[in-house]
Amino acid sequence: MDLTQAIFLGIIEGITEFLPISSTGHLMLASRSMGISQTEFVKSFEIAIQSGAILAVVILYWKELSKNLDIWKKIFTAFFPTMVIGALLYKVIKTFFLSSDSVVLWALFLGGIALILFEILHGEKQGSSDELTSISYPQALIIGLFQSIAVIPGVSRAAATIVGGLAVGLKRKTIVEFSFLLAIPTLCAATALDLAKSAGSFKTGQFLVLGAGFIVSLLVALLAIKFLLVFIKKHTFIPFGIYRILIAAVFWLKFR
């Protein structure tokens, strides 16, 4: 992987991390399209540049996070299921899931169908909670259980938490913002775990590539977050479901 490829993947990460379309899936498909081999470094790169997107959340929400300890408690309640499952299945995730185009494409396709059906059959209910502070601990835990499904690349952490939030009666804006905040411990833990196991084998030049991807993903994620918050004021998540189905179909044909 060269610097130009790292910057391009950083842009993809920044755009897709908080949209319900799977950043990991898009990074894997983009790497495959550019002929980048799925080496241990590339797999670590695809995990670690997510921390750039995390920093975007911290920058935009630092006031809320610094003033409300209760929000942190609910975030970590929701994070717990993914922490346990991610730690137990780390080797399976990195050696099998992150090496399988089929897993990604099926997850994108089926996840797209699920997102559309859920919006049609369930969607946002009248009287849904519209404040982050109104999220209860049981609701946070259920959202966390949904998020844990996203250890499968292509599912989308954002999509899983959004569906979980709608299922427990939250408004779109509320669950989207909670999904942003839930990314902080989730992606920090994933990055820290992977780098602790893999960073010792990186070459000096690879850290430069990783840094470039991090900075680009941070800058682009700032814009993507603001876009999504504006988008959900007037739209459902159905367009993202349609996009997931189409992108899966395109890459199925491409990889045949």
Domain ranges of the chain: 3-254
Q: Please, which pLDDT band fits residue 46 given cuts at 50, 70 and 90?
A: confident
Which pLDDT value is given to residue 125? 63
pLDDT beyond 80 at 201: no
Does the structure show a pLDDT above 90 at 128?
Answer: no
Half-sphere exposure of 201 (CA within 13 A, CB side): 12
- If pLDDT is split at 50, 70 and 90, which confidence band does 207 have? confident
Q: In this structure, what token pair is assigned to residue 216?
A: 């680009």
What is the C-alpha radius of gyration for the chain, rounded to an integer number of angstroms?
17
**pLDDT, the chain, mean:** 85
pLDDT reported for residue 62: 86
Residue 185: pLDDT over 70:
yes
Kindly state the tokens that stand for 76.
Answer: 């970590």
Answer whether 128's CB lies under 8 Å from 170's CB.
Answer: yes
What is the model's pTM?
0.81
- Predicted confidence band of residue 71 (pLDDT cuts 50, 70, 90): confident
